[in-house]
Every structure is written in structure tokens, then in C-alpha cells.
Chain A
Amino acid sequence: MSVPEKRWRVADSHRIRVHGWEDGYTVFHGGSGDTHLLDPFTGEVLSCLLKQPMDLDELARMLAGQALAELEPEERAALEQALTALQRIHLADPCPR
């Protein structure tokens, strides 16, 4: 039996402000008072997670705007990297299914 992918969420999503710009996304976290500049891809990932918690496959589908057969290793690595970056600055964390 395969282990289900863990889901990711934005904690305190109601305290997050996001703006998209030509060079990425600025994010304000009302809890910490920190402001971040995210690269466009990480900003898109955060915008998806603000809608609802998702696992990697769900995130990839939402980012692609369509159903995907399977994640390419490169795509998976990029998503994991973005999620790790968001976790490092306390904007996203894994959550139980």
C-alpha cells in the first residue's frame, strides 16, 4: 500500500497579504510582521496553498491548470524546493490529511 503524499497548508492564512509584481510576489505575514519577496514560482505555490491545503500532485495540477498523468522528477524537485522555502520562512507547513 502506498503512503499518501503529505499535504501542505498556509498557517494563519487570514493574516497573510500577497501582491504579485513583475519580479515576483511580496508577502506580509501579520503574525510575524515579516515581509518577503518570493520568486514568481514560489509565489504561485503560496497563492495555491492559500486556497486550500494540497499535496504535491494537487499543487501541480492547480499550477498546470489541468490534470497531469504524473509529476516529472524535475517538477517534483521544484515544488519541494518551493515548499521548503515557504516552510523556512514560516509561511507553509505540512499538515495531516
Chain B
Amino acid sequence: MKLSQLAFGEVRRRLAGPGLCLQTGPFTVRVRSAIPAVAAGLALLYAEHPVAADEAFCDFHVRLFRPMGPRRWFRPQVQFAFDDLVPFKPLPLDHALPMLEWGLNWSVANHAHWYLILHAAVIERGGRAAILPAPPGSGKSTLCAGLVARGWRLLSDELALVDPETGLVHALARPVSLKNTSVELIQSWAPEAVFGPCARDTVKGTVAHMRPPADSVARMGEPARPAWVVFPRYVPGAAARLSPHPRGHALLTFAGNAFNYGLLGSRGYDALAGLIEGCACFDFEYSRLDDALAVFAALADAA
């Protein structure tokens, strides 16, 4: 059953009671929260995701709640808990949805060590995956959202889950997190896309989440073979330019921004080297999504 098939009252009941069990890629997450904005946000952004039964086995148990104390009355806050662990400081209550997304990322990155987890967006077309690693501000999520809105399949906008045994990348198909001017840009680029509310004044500025396309969610059980590593960089006014990126350097960059590379030891290195061996690596400068779309289409068509 999809979340959209569940009455909103039932979504709220489960969240406030036993928990709402959502499947996101290979993980089932039990979310508990009595905060109305969390229920509304999940119902909107995870509408296409499968819901598991109350008694289902869940990989992660997370909870969003309002901390007690006098502040509750004049500056309400929200707190994220993983089991009984509270890994973050509380945030303003209207940042509950971004906090849930960041908390889910944290849950995966800190526990799913049977994958090599890279900090990168992943999209797929024709069975081949493009991995987009990049630091914040490089336009990674904007590019990812722009391409996903034009037919590329979303695997993840934040976490590349690489199976060290097969070399395949697994999908999460969770909402794409957009920041600041990217929100309006993608809203006008893809008017049909569904967005959650804007959370303002977060540590990342204004944040809004784009719902993943239904097809990406329906196919989230399909892993993809990595074919390209593209380091995107948004440069205002720049023409779209794809240039080779040396692969040794690419490996080192990945090693530096993977979440659990150090933990996996030689297994992580072998997985990373295998991934790079099977990929063409590029730097990509762009300023217009139209140009980026054409460059990525040519990349896919040439494969």
C-alpha cells in the first residue's frame, strides 16, 4: 500500500502511536511524531512510498518530538531521536521536516555499513547511473532535481549506496533537498513537481523538498550500474562544459567525502576503485539547466 492510499487521519494516528513504517529503498523506517507538520509533510513528500504494517521489521526507529521546558511556550523546538539516542541539538519547530530528512540521512550514513556510502547524488538513465559528488553550493541537488524532472530516475540526491559485492548503486528515492534560489528555479523549471513547505533560516538557508517522481519510487528496488562520475559546479553565466576529470584524483576525492570509507578499510578501497574503473569521470561547469540537460542526454546517448 502507498502512503497516499492511507487516510490522513490514519497517517496521523500511526505517527502519534505505533509509528508509520515507510519503505525507502532497501530500508524500512518507523517514524513516530505527534507534530502535525511532520504528518502533513510526510503525506505530501512520501505519497508514493510503500507503507509497511505496524508490526513490520524496521531498520531504523526515529522520532520527532517537542522538547519539554519553558521554551516550549515562547520558542517551540523540535528534536530528533534515533532509538533513544538524540544526535543533534534541537531546531526551531518549523524546521521539523528538514530535521527529519537530515536525521534519516544520518541514520543511513551511520548504520548501513554493508554499503560504501558516498556523499553524492545519483541519477540513472538506460540502466546506467551518473554519480554527482560535490560540496555544498556546487549545484549538485539543483542539477539532480532538474534532470530528474526531465526523465532521469532519482536514486538519491545525497547518499550513494554502493554494494561492495556487486558494484551496483542502490536507490533511496527520497525527497530532493533544495536550498535558497534553487527552490524557485526548480519550481519554474518543473511546475508539475510537488514541493513541501519552505523552511526559512535553517543552517543551510531556506530549504524545501521536492517529492521524488512516482516512477523513481516505483523502481527504487532496482539498483543501477555506475557509468559516470560527474563533479558539477554551478558557475553563473558559464556555458555548459564537460571535461575529463583524472580518475586517481576522483578516487581520492570520493575517499575524502565518503561517510564510512575509513570504517570499511580495504573493502571500501576495493569498492571505490572498482567503481572508478567502471566509470568515465568528468568535471561539469554549468549555469543553465537546459544546457545541462542536453549535455547529460548526449552522455547517455553516447554510452
Contacts and interface: CB of A to CB of B under 8 A. Distances in A.
Nearest to A33: B262
| Residue among B248, B270, B273, B276 facing the most chain A CB atoms (10 A cut-off) | B248
Contacts of B269: 17, 28, 35
Given A21-B247, A26-B273, A35 B255 contact: yes
Nearest to A17: B269
Contacts of A94: none
Contact of B251 (A15, A19, A30): A19
B70 interface: no
B266 A23 contact: no
A48 interface: no
Nearest to B253: A37
Contacts of B248: 19, 21-26, 37
Interface in A1-45: 15, 17, 19, 21-26, 28, 30, 33, 35-37
B136 interface: no
Contacts of B247: 21-23
**B contact face: mostly helix, strand, loop, or mixed:** helix
Contacts of B252: 26, 35-37
Nearest to B263: A33
B249 interface: yes
Interface residues of A, number: 15
A48 B248 CA distance: 19
A35 B116 CA distance: 15
A24 B251 CA distance: 11
A33 B265 contact: yes
Contacts of A24: 246, 248
A23 B245 CA distance: 9
B301 to A, nearest CB: 24
**A contact face: mostly helix, strand, loop, or mixed:** strand
A36 to B, nearest CB: 8
Contacts of B262: 33
| Residue among B255, B261, B276 facing the most chain A CB atoms (10 A cut-off) | B255
Contacts of B251: 19, 21, 26, 35, 37
Contacts of A15: 266
Nearest to A38: B248
B249 A28 contact: no
B246 A17 contact: no
A25 B255 CA distance: 14
Given A17-B270, A35-B252, A35-B255, A23 B246 contact: yes
A21 B246 contact: yes
Contacts of A37: 248-249, 251-252
Interface of B: 246-249, 251-252, 255, 261-262, 265-266, 269-270, 273, 276-277
Given A21-B251, A23-B248, A37-B248, 5 more contacts: A15-B266, A19-B277, A23-B247, A26-B251, A36-B252
Nearest 3 pairs between A and B by C-beta? A23-B246, A21-B248, A28-B269
18 contacts: A15-B266, A17-B269, A19-B273, A19-B277, A21-B276, A22-B248, A23-B246, A23-B247, A24-B246, A25-B248, A26-B248, A26-B251, A28-B269, A33-B262, A33-B265, A37-B248, A37-B251, A37-B252
